[in-house]
Amino acid sequence: MQILARYIATSFFKNLLLSLFGLTGLFFFQTIITQLNDYALNQLIIYTLYDFPKMMVTVAPPAALVATVLTFSGMSKTNELVACHSIGISLAQMVSVIFPIVFVMCCFSLVVQDRILPALHEKKSLFYWREIKKRQDFFLDVKQDKIWYRSSNLIYHLRTFDPKTERIFGIGVYVFSDDFNLIELLQAETATYNGNEWELDGGTATKFNKEGYPVIEPFQSRMLKIKEGPKDFKMIEREVDRLRIKDLIRFIDVNKKSGIDSRAFEVKLHSRFSLSFIPLIMCLLAVPFSVSRVREGRMAKDMLIAFTITFFYWLGYSISLSMGQNGTIQPILAAWLPSLIFGFLALFLLVRKKA
């Protein structure tokens, strides 16, 4: 059994690498082709390369499915499955050989999402704004307890921003002179956009004279005119991708304490875990369709079935995440519901195949 296990594991691992890099390559070139008219080619290649590890995480589920189909379809076509059954090796034993490989890939995918992707997302964002958009003054950093934003001679931090009401809760604005000396600090509890300016409510204005002494003046309401509007601050939701899991949890807590709907961020949090372990379900789903005894022309049909399953899985996954974001179902259920449904389907098909 050890020799057979090494043979199956080696064959599956080769197919997994082939599928993973093949699908990632297709994803990479498809992304470049669809955006070729929007950016210069050299900028587009660099910009897309920042997403290469993310693409590998995204295609890991279909790669596991395709690798399983290739492995067992190949063994069935050469009658190796029949030979294994004849010496008492069951299908479950053969699946147990490849399952740990897929599980290790899932754990590695989760580590990549938590450790590598946030750093690459930050570099990608800076490259987009400074090299493509030519905004050298731009800087946006989302921390777990505060959002820092720099534009021209202003640096301001936001405690939270509610994209639905387009209100800022807890804002501090640092105003600098052309030679970058601090001349004023504005702090307010809330800020509301009126279509042209931000209205700051309940705050203080601290002005610094030439000697650097502060003069503090409280205010009930004050207008602040900056070139950034609600649409600019809505980028914060995308920038949350740069947070690690532990920081994202704190960020969600801060939003909840401010009374802001954080369901979209909670869905992001749970989807990081569910996305990492989808390959396990895909692997199980592929087995029943790959061990048919009638092999004439079956390889192409097996691959077609594999990609059909992938399509419906991702369709259900996307719908479920959307339902979680709009509050139809709980965020944790939205992230895991498709895996539960297809997982039970895979077990049912395996039991039926065994019968």
Q: What is the pLDDT of residues 232-252, one digit of tens each?
A: 776 666 677 778 898 888 888
Give every strand in the sheet of 154-162, ordered side by side. Answer: 139-142, 147-151, 154-162, 167-176, 182-193, 198-208, 214-224
Q: For residues 185 and 168, is the Cβ–Cβ distance under 8 A?
A: no
Q: What is the pLDDT of residue 305?
A: 75
Mean pLDDT over 312-334 rounds to 91
- Quick check: 355 pLDDT over 60? no
Q: Which amino acid is at 11?
A: S
Asked which of 19-23, 28-32, 299-303 is least confident by mean pLDDT, the reply is 299-303
For 296-300, what is the mean pLDDT? Answer: 59
pLDDT digits (tens, 9 = 90+) for 56-80: 999 999 999 999 988 988 887 787 8
Q: Which residues of 226-248 are buried (b: 16+ CB within 10 A; e: fewer)?
A: eebebeebebbeeebbbbbeebb
- Write down the mean pLDDT value for the chain: 84
User: pLDDT tens, 254-293?
Assistant: 778 767 778 888 999 999 999 999 999 999 888 887 776 5
Better-predicted residue by pLDDT, 145 or 320: 320
Arithmetic mean of pLDDT, 117-141:
77
Rounded CA-CA distance 9/4 in Å is 8
Q: Which pLDDT value is given to residue 84?
A: 82
pLDDT for position 333:
94
Domain limits, the chain:
2-133+261-354, 139-257
pLDDT for the residue 273: 94
